[in-house]
């Protein structure tokens, strides 16, 4: 993921053009400005998939779901594997979904921290486009060297392509450690 969000108007155009099933991944929708969920009501060949891994912070639960017209879902149920979600995961997921206040607070904090991280990285010379995820994609000509040096300092970011670092929004302390280390390296 890059953090880029495809505008809803473009997804509508794609839904009009596609003959088969159109799967729209909204794993990061909680951090985005708009959702494609409305397309499910308009198009019988669109499915929107989501997860509790990002906005709810439940990556270890491995709980995802799809939203589509009943006719599309019935076809999918015919080919799904026989192993569903276990009872504990179902209960945890239901409790998480019921606690929207916590999720909304968590997402708001991540968005605030994401903006802080973006601004701080830009002040260090990184190019950081707007992100609609719980991470930023930071471009720097020395990304590989910085990645390796950060790793040696116990800071884990992902090196993507030749000049990009994918940095998950963390805690203020993690940001301080990252930014101080980057400042020393640059």
The pLDDT tens digits of the residues spanning 108-151 come to 999 999 999 999 999 999 999 999 999 999 999 999 999 999 99
- pLDDT for residue 2: 77
Query: Considering all CA atoms of the chain, what is the largest pairwise distance in Å, rounded to the nearest integer?
Result: 57
pLDDT at 78: 82
Cα dihedral 123, 126, 132, 135 sign: negative
> Tell me, what's the pLDDT at 80?
78
The C-alpha atoms of residue 54 and residue 27 are separated, in whole angstroms, by 7
Mean pLDDT per 10-residue segment, the chain (186 residues):
86 95 94 93 95 91 92 86 83 95 95 97 96 95 96 96 94 96 96
* Residues composing the chain: 186
Coil, helix or strand at residue 35: coil
CA dist., res. 171 & res. 100, Å (int): 21
- Domains recognised in the chain with CATH numbers: 8-98 (3.40.640.10), 107-185 (3.90.1150.10)
The two three-digit tokens of residue 62, written as one number? 């491995």
- Containing H/E element for 175? helix 172-185
Quote the pLDDT of residue 33.
86
Position 47 scores a pLDDT of 96
Say what the pTM is: 0.85
Q: What is the mean pLDDT of the chain?
A: 93
Residue 37 half-sphere exposure, CB side, CA atoms within 13 Å? 12
Name the helix (H) or strand (E) containing 98.
helix 87-98
What's the CA angle centered on 185, arms 181 and 186, to 5 degrees? 120
Q: What's the pLDDT score for residue 1?
A: 72
């Amino acid at each position: 993921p890059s953090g880029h969000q495809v505008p809803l108007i473009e997804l509508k155009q794609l839904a009009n053009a596609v003959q088969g099933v159109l799967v729209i991944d909204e794993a990061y929708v909680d951090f985005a400005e708009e959702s494609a969920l409305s397309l499910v009501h308009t198009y019988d060949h669109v499915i929107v998939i989501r997860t509790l891994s990002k906005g709810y912070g439940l990556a270890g639960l491995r709980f995802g779901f799809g939203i589509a017209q009943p006719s599309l879902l019935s076809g999918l149920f015919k080919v799904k594997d026989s192993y569903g979600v276990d009872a504990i995961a179902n209960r945890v997921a239901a409790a998480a979904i019921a606690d929207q206040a916590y999720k909304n607070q968590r997402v708001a904090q991540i968005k605030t921290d994401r903006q802080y991280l973006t601004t701080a990285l830009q002040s260090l010379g990184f190019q950081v486009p707007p992100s609609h995820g719980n991470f930023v994609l930071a471009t720097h000509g020395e990304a590989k060297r910085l990645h390796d040096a950060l790793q040696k300092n116990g800071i884990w970011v992902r090196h993507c392509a030749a000049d990009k670092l994918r940095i998950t929004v963390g805690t203020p302390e993690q940001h301080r450690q990252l930014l101080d280390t980057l400042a020393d390296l640059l």
